[in-house]
Each structure stands twice: as structure tokens, then as C-alpha cells.
Structure 1
Amino acid sequence: MSPNQHKKTTVTKTLKRGFFLTLGALLVSMALEVFLVPNQIIDGGIVGISIIASFLFPIPLSAFLLVLNIPFLIFGYKQIGKTFTLSTLYSVSIMSLGVQFIHGAPTVTNDFLLAAVFGGITLGLGVGLILRYNGSLDGTEILAIILTRSIPFSVGEIIMFFNIFILGSAGFVFGWDKAMYSLIAYFIAFKTIDLVLEGLDESKAVTIISNNAPEIAEAIMARLGRGVTYLFGKGGFTGEEKEILYCVVTRLELAKLRQIVLDSDPDAFVAVEHVAEVMGGRFAKKAIHP
């Protein structure tokens, strides 16, 4: 790749990242000001702390969102990396501006359950986009990443501890019914984030052990358009040499793959595993037969 092509590609990637970080931050702003905050429903992390603080003190929510995140960004700059820190700072700034701009907009619903559900979905979409493009909206995530280097807990466990404390605090400030609605919103946002990061075509790795391995492999390649890799093993009880098939399919293709295997060998051993991410190879190829 020539220097000009490399520069053009870098600019394109930066603009794309900036667009989706902006979109994600604005979605989060909408979730907060249109659904959650007017109904006193909170999120976890710095966002949740900011909502509680803005309720207790006569300071705008947008100011808390920005100011409370800055110490974590400064603390994590050298630890986490320049790109991640700058992307996070940009996302937090856009979110803060979005909250300030949208503040005072008409509330869509006063039904707490509807606010928790649709606020959680909108929040999850926004946060998912930001995470997908190498950013964050929460300084506690940076703190958790750093803390994992010195304490025997994962990032997820540390964030969960923070959020249990924050969501529990909402019970004392807004009432326990609002705290429970906040848990609903948090859970829905969490699941929506997974959906954005993994996509609708969640991938599955399938291991097949069968005496009809060549026939099954040919059918998978012909009917699903997916590549198949041969592995070789030996049965633990029989000592017999075995051909093992390994392939990766989408969640939507899994049922058809099962049927292919059953049609060829009803006694085949099939193990299905979740795959977090797939890159390269022929995986992007679509099925070539209905």
C-alpha cells in the first residue's frame, strides 16, 4: 500500500469512527433526557452517579457527566492508550453536549416500565456503538481495567461491584421502586450492548465427529457455503482413528447444519460453542443454496 493510500485509509477509518462515536453518544443523551432522567431511572457507572448528583445539587447533569469522567481519563491516559482515551473523551464530550441540548425536551412517557425498557434499549444501542468503535462513556471502566492488574478480579466483576453500589444508592435517593426499574433498564441495556457488539448473526463453532465426515463436509460446503476444516484424532475407548470436522456458522444457519448432519449420520457427535468474534477466511461468504 502506497503512503497516499495508507493516509486515505486512515482518514476514512477516523471519520467512520468519529461518526459512530457521535451517533452513539447522541443516542445515550436521548436515552437519558427523554426516557430515564425524567422518570428518575438511572444507569450504572459515572452516568448513574451523575444523575444522582444532579438530583441532589443544583448543577446540570451535563456538567457532572463531563467533570466526573475527566479524572479517570487523566489517570488512565498512560495506562490504557492514547486512542482509547481520546475516543472516550470525545464520546463523553458529545454526550454531555447532547444532554445539555436535549434537556427540557418533552418526555415521551411517564410509565416507568416503558421508560426503563425503551431507555435501556436506546442506551444500549448508543453504548454498544461507542464500545464497537474503541471508545467508552464511563471512567469506572478505565479504573476497572487498571485495578485488574493488582487485584484478583475481572473487569466485569469490578464494574458489577461499582454498579451494585450505585444502583443501590438510587433506592435511598429516588425510592426502591425506581431502583428496581433502574435494574430493568440496566439489564436491557446490557443485553442490547451484546447485540450491537456481536450482531444478529451470532457465530457458532461446531465440532462434528462422524464416520461419514467427508459426506457431511461436502454437504456443508455445498448447501451452506461454509468452509470446513479436517482435524484428526483417536477414540479414547476404541483407539480408532477419527476424522473430526470443524466449521463456523451463524446462529441462523445452525439449525440447517444440524439437519445436514442428521440426514447423513444420526449417530454423529456434535458440539456447538459460542464464538465471540470471527475475522478473516471465507466466513463472510453467504450460503450458495437455499
Structure 2
Amino acid sequence: FLIPNKIAAGGVSGLATVLYYLWGWPVGMVLFLINTPLFLAGLGFYGPRFGIKTFFGSTFLALAVEYWGRMVHPLTLDPLLASLCGGALTGIGVGLAFRYRGTTGGTDLAAKLLNHFTALTMGQALLVFDGLVIALAGMVFKSAELMLYALIALVAAGKMIDGVLEGFNYSKGAFIISDQSERIAQRILEEMNRGVTGLSGRGIYSGKCREVLLCIVGRAEETRLKRLVKEEDPKAFVIITNVHEVLGEGFKE
């Protein structure tokens, strides 16, 4: 999806794509050459177990890109479809590697090493590497549109990585602060058949102690919960947040 459409969505694969169109260097070869010193550095800092996983992951990626690309024709030449599908597939692959404590080499390993030596977080380090690659691609291809498509692919990959690592079937967590907490809790128990936990809270400005309700519901129940709270207390303060994993009765066992 990505290479035939000149979409360099960050990372070593994005850099390899730029070099392929710039000088004709095979993408698989560039991936292997760049990942080899990173693999050796990772082997020294994180031990043989991590190094072996990185070696197999990066080598398989290089071979797959090189030979699979020759065997399969591009499925689409629409850059938007290519960026979405290519980014999603990249995210699934990287997410699976991370889930089983491996890596495909590339900038995720470089970011890990940079994080080890500097104050940059993994996210900041990845942003630096990917931003430089996308900027280089924009200059080489002389196209702002291809830079934007690369960003779309990067976002799609990030979303899929999060989905693989944290799960797609997330729930909703609600913190409810209200003068009618007893009534709200009772209705949640009876009408929604969901558990409610009462937490002790204190308003810093008012200095008053108040009960804070904590409730976990499914995504489809979020609207119903907010409507229920509004019916009991239109002035209630409600915080809704995504909860990526819930274990226990009524959720995942």
C-alpha cells in the first residue's frame, strides 16, 4: 500500500521508501542495513532475549517487504485508501510485536535507545524520528499532499497499535459528583444493573466533603447513564473516560 504510492509514514520503512525513489536502493536491503546496528546496540543494552526477538522481527520484515512487494501488485493507487490501509496493517504488525515483547527494529528501537540516554519519553523520541522522515519525504517528493497522507498513515498505525495492545472493546468509566448521589446510585443499581462505588472526596475551594460515585458501564450504556444523572440532578458534575480493560463480573472474566 505505502511504498507504491510514495507514502513514507515515518520510521525506517519510511526512510527506506525515500531512498528507494531517490537512488533506487531496494527497500528490504535498506531496512536490513539500518536495523543491523540498532539490533547490535539493543543486544548490548537489553540482553540476548530482546536481541534475538529484534533480529528475527527486523529480518522477517526486510525479507517480507523485499519479496512480497515483487510478487503482489498494488491493491490501490488511491493515496487516501493506501495511507489508511497501509497504516492500519503496519499498526497491527507492530502492535503484535510489542504485545509479545518483541520489536521489528526501526525507529521504535532507536527511540527506546534514545529514551535510555536522554530525558525524552518514548513518544517524544518516536515523534522526533518520524517527523524528520516525513519532512525529508516531503522535500524529496516535493509534495505537501504526500506529507499529509504520511501523517494519516502514521495516525492509523498508532490507533491500531493501541487497539492491539489495549483492546478494541473498551468500556466507559464515570465519576459523578452530585448532591443527589444516593438517588443516582440507587437508580444505576436498579435500572442499569451496574455496580457503583462511593468514594470520599473534598472540594478544595469549598472545603466540603462530598461523595464521589464511580461506575463502569459499556459504551452503549453511556448515553443512558448521562440521561439518568441529568434527570436526578441537572447540575451534577460528570467525568466520562475510556477504560480499556475491565476484569470482573459483568465484564471480561
Alignment partner, residue 108 of structure 2: 141
Unaligned runs of 5+ in 1: 1-34
Choose which of 69, 74, 84 in structure 2 pairs with 1:107: 74
CA distance in 1 between counterparts of 2:190 and 2:102 reads: 40
Alignment partner, residue 249 of structure 1: 217
- Matched AA of 2:21: F
Query: How far apart are residue 75 of structure 1 and its match?
Result: 0.9
- Show the 5 A alignment for 1:153-192: 153-176=120-143, 177-192=145-160
**Structure 1 SS opposite 2:160:** helix
- Listed one character per residue, the Cα deviations across residues 37-90 of structure 1 (whole Å, up to 9, x for unaligned) are 112222211111222233344543222223321221221235345554443333
Does residue 1:261 correspond to 2:218, yes or no?
no
Alignment partner, residue 73 of structure 1: 39
Does residue 1:43 correspond to 2:9, yes or no?
yes
Unaligned runs of 5+ in 2: none
Using the TM superposition, name which of 94-103 and 230-239 deviates more: 230-239
CA distance in 1 between counterparts of 2:103 and 2:250 reads: 29
Query: How far apart are residue 103 of structure 1 and its match?
Result: 2.0
Query: How far apart are residue 106 of structure 1 and its match?
Result: 1.5
- Matched AA of 2:11: G
- Listed one character per residue, the Cα deviations across residues 242-264 of structure 1 (whole Å, up to 9, x for unaligned) are 22212333443322221232233
Alignment partner, residue 196 of structure 1: 164
Q: 1:186 to 1:260 in 2, by over 3 A?
A: same
Q: 1:237 to 1:93 in 2, by over 3 A?
A: closer
CA distance in 1 between counterparts of 2:208 and 2:83 reads: 57
Does residue 1:117 correspond to 2:78, yes or no?
no
Query: How far apart are residue 205 of structure 1 and its match?
Result: 2.9
Choose which of 2, 7, 26 in structure 2 pairs with 1:60: 26
Does residue 1:94 correspond to 2:73, yes or no?
no
Give the conservation status (yes or no) of the 8 Å contact 1:210–1:265: yes
Q: 1:46 to 1:214 in 2, by over 3 A?
A: same
Q: 1:237 to 1:188 in 2, by over 3 A?
A: closer
Q: 1:235 to 1:106 in 2, by over 3 A?
A: closer
The TM-score with structure 2 as length reference comes to 0.82
Q: 1:239 to 1:191 in 2, by over 3 A?
A: closer
CA distance in 1 between counterparts of 2:192 and 2:55 reads: 44
CA distance in 1 between counterparts of 2:123 and 2:250 reads: 29
- Show the 5 A alignment for 1:196-235: 196-235=164-203
Alignment partner, residue 8 of structure 1: none
Give the conservation status (yes or no) of the 8 Å contact 1:45–1:138: no
The TM-score with structure 1 as length reference comes to 0.73
Give the conservation status (yes or no) of the 8 Å contact 1:201–1:252: no
Query: How well do the aligned residues superpose, as a CA RMSD in angstroms?
Result: 2.9
**Structure 2 SS opposite 1:148:** helix
Give the conservation status (yes or no) of the 8 Å contact 2:39–2:105: no
Query: How far apart are residue 157 of structure 1 and its match?
Result: 1.5
Does residue 1:132 correspond to 2:96, yes or no?
no
Q: 1:239 to 1:46 in 2, by over 3 A?
A: closer
